[in-house]
Amino acid sequence: MATPTTEPSTGAPATTELNEKTLLAPTPATEASSAAASTIESKSILENPAGAPAVEETGPVKKLFPYPTPDCKPTPHTPLTPDQQHKYDELLKTAKSWETLPKTSAKNAEQAPLLDEEKMWLTRECLLRYLRASKWNLAHATKRVQDTLIWRREYGTNNFTAEYISEENATGKQVLLGFDNEGRPCLYLLPNKQNTKNSPKQVEHLVFMLERTLDIAPPGQETLALLIDFRNSSSGSQPSIGTGKQVLHILQNHYPERLGRALITHLPWYVTTFLKLVSPFIDPVTKTKMRYNEPLTDHVPSSQLMKNAGGDVDFVYDHSVYWPALDALASERRKARKERWETAGKHIGESEIYLWGGDEKSVGAQDKEVDEAARGVVDVTMKEGEEVKKTNA
């Protein structure tokens, strides 16, 4: 079968309530150049035979699935309205104008130039996510994008290494394994495997795993699925209210439109109480994405779902195998994206579908085609005008 992770579950004792705090339970180009860049990793993403994950030769699965099954595809967004397109164009123009940003959120903080990795983060889809999350309020979206860039600098999101985070995940309390029916990468949160005390590093661990989950998403999929299983967990393994609020703030402000589904099972009474306390801080849109005690096979193919969750995958978490495999796959995907971005001209507002190895051309190549088409129309018009002049003469 497939890949790595620990254990959530299928049925579950019915309990109540809400939602996402459970995350707390423990995120000049040419057509030729576009095509060349697309091949950097497209084969590993798009030409994988049958689009299925590598199968372990014998014994239990200990590594993660690199791909969703072929029939699990993301739902495309509806086309933008003229007003939405105008607001996107304005936000893109503003983002391109940022030469420096504060190093921290402190008042009068020192400014620093935008790094390439920050410019690459400012994709077309990224800007659109902030616009949607801001209900198309351009000023609000602009501020939120800038605030997140500053937060990523200050928090050090791009500096967390697998080695630094390793201890937090030694027991497999968070595992990235498989993809749901819409191709969302599935991140399991398993509080019964809690191995550390409440600390800032637990939050850093979650942010690290969110980033890795997004790294391995297939082209065109912008969201992730959280599978949270509270079975056999204790009240001592739950985060404090303060930590819960911090995680919610990070998720809702700096990872907008990233949660596609949260599937929560085996809720004990103390978690229900915790959810009630944190519920006022949860965005109403987020609440609609929560599912409680539903069969997980309704949402994830059995071939990519752990046995303890009702699937067919005999997964055993072995940190010495899983952790380097996760780091290697995510690093490979990031390297390929960087190469595509550089090959296509280092554009702010680049297409994530292109960067993630999909079948869409780079923004530079698309612009070139539009320019060539426009020049063609002008050339034809001028030629027709000359013919008319000759005829009249």
Residues 255 and 385 placed together within one structural domain of the fold: no
Residues 138 and 231 placed together within one structural domain of the fold: yes
Residues 319 and 393 placed together within one structural domain of the fold: no
- pLDDT per residue over 349-372, tens digit each? 999 999 999 999 999 898 776 556
pTM value is 0.81
Asked if the model's pLDDT at residue 334 lies above 60, the reply is yes
> Of 40-44, 90-94, 262-266, where does mean pLDDT reach its minimum?
40-44
Q: 154: exposed, middle or buried (C-beta count within 10 Å: 0-12, 13-18, 19+)?
A: middle
Does any domain span residue 7?
no
> What is the predicted pLDDT for the residue at 276?
81
Mean pLDDT of the chain: 85
Does any domain span residue 348?
yes
> Of 41-50, 227-236, 333-342, 346-355, where does mean pLDDT reach its minimum?
41-50
Does any domain span residue 3?
no
- pLDDT per residue over 22-55, tens digit each? 333 333 333 344 344 333 333 333 434 344 444 4
Asked if the model's pLDDT at residue 336 lies above 80, the reply is yes
- How many domains does the structure of the chain reveal? 2
Residues 372 and 286 placed together within one structural domain of the fold: no
Band of pLDDT at residue 273, cut at 50, 70 and 90: confident
Asked if the model's pLDDT at residue 247 lies above 70, the reply is yes
Task: Count CB atoms within 10 A of the CB of residue 242.
Answer: 9
Residues 376 and 326 placed together within one structural domain of the fold: no
Range 69-85 average pLDDT = 96
Asked if the model's pLDDT at residue 299 lies above 90, the reply is yes
Band of pLDDT at residue 269, cut at 50, 70 and 90: confident
Residues 208 and 276 placed together within one structural domain of the fold: yes
Band of pLDDT at residue 2, cut at 50, 70 and 90: very low
Does any domain span residue 1?
no
> What is the predicted pLDDT for the residue at 147?
98
Residues 372 and 337 placed together within one structural domain of the fold: no
Domain that holds residue 376: 362-393
Residues 310 and 376 placed together within one structural domain of the fold: no
Asked if the model's pLDDT at residue 232 lies above 50, the reply is yes
- pLDDT per residue over 158-197, tens digit each? 999 999 999 999 999 999 999 999 999 999 999 999 999 9
Domain containing residue 346: CATH number: 3.40.525.10
Residues 347 and 201 placed together within one structural domain of the fold: yes
> What is the predicted pLDDT for the residue at 57?
54
